[in-house]
Chains A and B, each alone.
Chain A
Amino acid sequence: MTVISAQRRGSLLGVVDRYWRNSGYRMRTVNNHVDAPAMYAETKDGFAVSLIVADKGQVHFDVNSPCVSYSEVADSPRQATAPLDPEAEVIPRPNIHSDFWSAQTPEVGVTVGGD
């Protein structure tokens, strides 16, 4: 799990926000709390997408499909980049350093806190 520093959090939210709007997603709600910002949007075909910043700055993307009949969902064929310990009961907190996302300085040219 990549560590996203508080300084770079605004950059990430801004990038995602722009991409969602450009893709025609309808923005539904936003939590603008500085430690737990979140964005909720809906795609044209009814998928609910969200990005939340949770404990220790961990970012979660979620996509929920609109109504479908109940069915088994196959496992992802791709190996996760940071596979979980099979015994893990909770998802571990961010622990992978990225020179860009984990940097303790704001990205040049971007204002902290998004728009």
Chain B
Amino acid sequence: MSGPGGLGGMGGPGGASGIGGLGATLTWAKLREVKCAELEEAADGWGRASNRADAARDRIDTQLVNDLRRTQKGEAARAAVRRLRRLSMNFQYIYTECGLLRTALNSLAHEMKAQQRVLRGALDDAAALKFTVHADGSVSYPDAGEGLVDGKPLAGGRASGVPNPGLAVPSGLVAPNPNAAKAQDIADRVARAVRAAGDADWRYARILRGLKAEEGLGVPVATWTDAAGDAAAVRQAAGGYLRQGIPHDASPAERKAWWAGLTDEQREEYLAVYPDQIGNLDGIPALVRDAANRDNLQLLMGKLAGRDDEDAVTKLAALREIDRQLRAVQKPGDPPIYLLGIGDQGNGRAIVSYGNPDTSKNVAAYVPGLNTSLDEEFARGDLGRARDLAIASNRHGESAAAITWLGYDAPQSPDGWGTLAVAGGGRAEDGGRSFSGFMGGLAVTNEHADPHMTAIGHSYGSRTVGAATQQEGGIPGVDDIVFVGSPGVGVDSADELGVGRGHVFVGAAANDVVTKLPSKGQAAVGAAEMLFGGPAAAYVVGDLADRGDDDVWFGKDPASESFGARRFEVGDGPPLVGPAGLSVDAHSQYFDPVADKTSVDNMALIAAGRSHMVRVEELR
């Protein structure tokens, strides 16, 4: 920690008042003398402190805790692990806050330098014209021009600068000394530079004073809530300094090139100030996204902990569960976890990869469907599906990664499929665009020359994957497509998905009612009752009215012969009306290694690029 300590007046938040003290009485002479290089040196010092904290945290998490857990048992070991965890959290907090300090100082220097340039330009112009710039910023100019009456040069004078453009209305009545307008312009530029610098000074002084921790060693939730606010403040202030650089509108390949072209210092600053944006940017390498999102996860948990509404409580429970999984000690053979996306917007976002998607030869991404949102059930169940798939895929071929992709707002319909929100394809279209971008990012960052990539859509997620295939160029990099429990995918033939019909696979359990949802037109009677609570009537009515027809909710039944996909074997699932009453479990067992391991293993074979070994089930 010697870095910041050795920085004298700029060493801590108090340092802000070193320059902050200029605020009220800032003059152009003082502005000219501000040593921005010192601010940048101070920023570097905080940057070094931030890096050291990050390295220390990493060492605790990946070495000390794991070694202790592996080698020591008992209460003492558990207590030691708890203390180490706290230390790790302390380092993480130091990393975050020091990183913010660094960027705040750099950003202040950036703004000061801009105003110094304006000032220097004005002073140079004054010197060239032999004008005098006075201590108060006014500019005096010599006699010049010709009087209208006597032809003598017009008297010189003194112009005072106006800091706000547009306030001074030039008078057209006085015969102008040609120097007057020039002097006025110079005085205005000086005044505006001084005003802008004073503004920046004031703003940053407040931000830097705000970057303070609670007393004591604990890093309570409130401190993280505070850190989330700090990050937001620095982001807002540093907008001009960093943000324009993030290439949101570029292609994944261009973003990858942008990141590769940054210096280490620049990368560290982006990670410290915009972990939310870097972490979710397609085309950025997985390890970088993971690091950014793990930091942002702490900030998000802090932010949500500061609220007590239902939405915040639900999402916070999910984030805590994800955090728990990320921190769990890995056993040999466990697929390592990468957090490729996280967010609290809409119904929440989480993209989690089991296995490194950049180094794995086989990469599969699963898009969940109806009623999926960032809640605890998702964090346990839906993430577990990708984990199970990763483990199963790794058995069958080269290294495999499997991803749960909640990168869109899936429709929420507690009543089931009957409501209009589901009937519409709008969510799928939006989600399809995002999913296509995400896969395009993976195709670019994967280190294999030709990675094997698979898109898997479950339930409404299959409609989303279907929409993604209709983007220009299809889903970049994807070789195989799997639909399970699909109510239709928005197109009528496997040929329209861009991978060739031999690479489109469908799992449809005999007892899964969703795969038999009658088409909208035919379902006038059934739709109103198409509830998960009471689908029997709808199913029966629809089926009877629709016997032999292969149209479902979103177009052709992908398991039908006319659609032309390859149907793979899955369990039948429990019947809709069985001994235990009404059951729709058949719709959600495709990923369940207990209820339907055949389905999981078949998807694993496809994800591993061994689809020729999959058992094909008879088409409907």
Contact = CB atoms under 8 A, between A and B. Distances in A.
B395 A86 contact: no
B399 interface: yes
B216 interface: no
B332 A88 contact: yes
Interface string A51-89: 010110010101011110010000100000000111111
Interface stretch (B265-273, B462-470, B500-508, B590-598): B590-598
A54 B608 CA distance: 11
Nearest to B70: A86
A36 B332 contact: no
Interface size class of B (residues with CB under 8 A): 20 to 34
A29 to B, nearest CB: 5
A85 B355 CA distance: 17
A54 B395 CA distance: 6
Contact of A64 (B396, B397, B597): B597
- What does DSSP make chain B's interface, helix, strand, loop or mixed? loop
Contacts of B332: 84-88
A96 to B, nearest CB: 17
A48 B70 contact: no
A64 B594 contact: yes
Contacts of A31: 569, 598, 601-602, 613-615
Contact of A58 (B331, B355, B395, B610): B395
Contact of B597 (A40, A70, A75): A40
Contacts, number: 71
Main secondary structure of the interface of A (DSSP, over half): loop
Given A36-B613, A55-B397, A62 B593 contact: yes
A91 B571 contact: no
A64 B591 CA distance: 13
A33 interface: yes
Nearest to A88: B332
A40 to B, nearest CB: 5
Contacts of B397: 55
B605 A36 contact: yes
Contacts of B333: 84, 88-91
A90 B610 contact: no
A29 B598 contact: yes
A87 B351 CA distance: 25
Contact of A50 (B336, B399, B597): B597
A32 B569 CA distance: 12
Contacts of A87: 332
Across chains A and B, which 4 residue pairs bring their CB atoms closest together, nearest first?
Answer: A84-B332, A36-B613, A54-B395, A64-B594
Interface of B: 70, 331-333, 335-336, 355, 380, 394-397, 399, 569, 571, 593-595, 597-598, 601-602, 605, 608, 610, 613-615
5 contacts: A36-B613, A38-B601, A55-B397, A66-B594, A90-B333
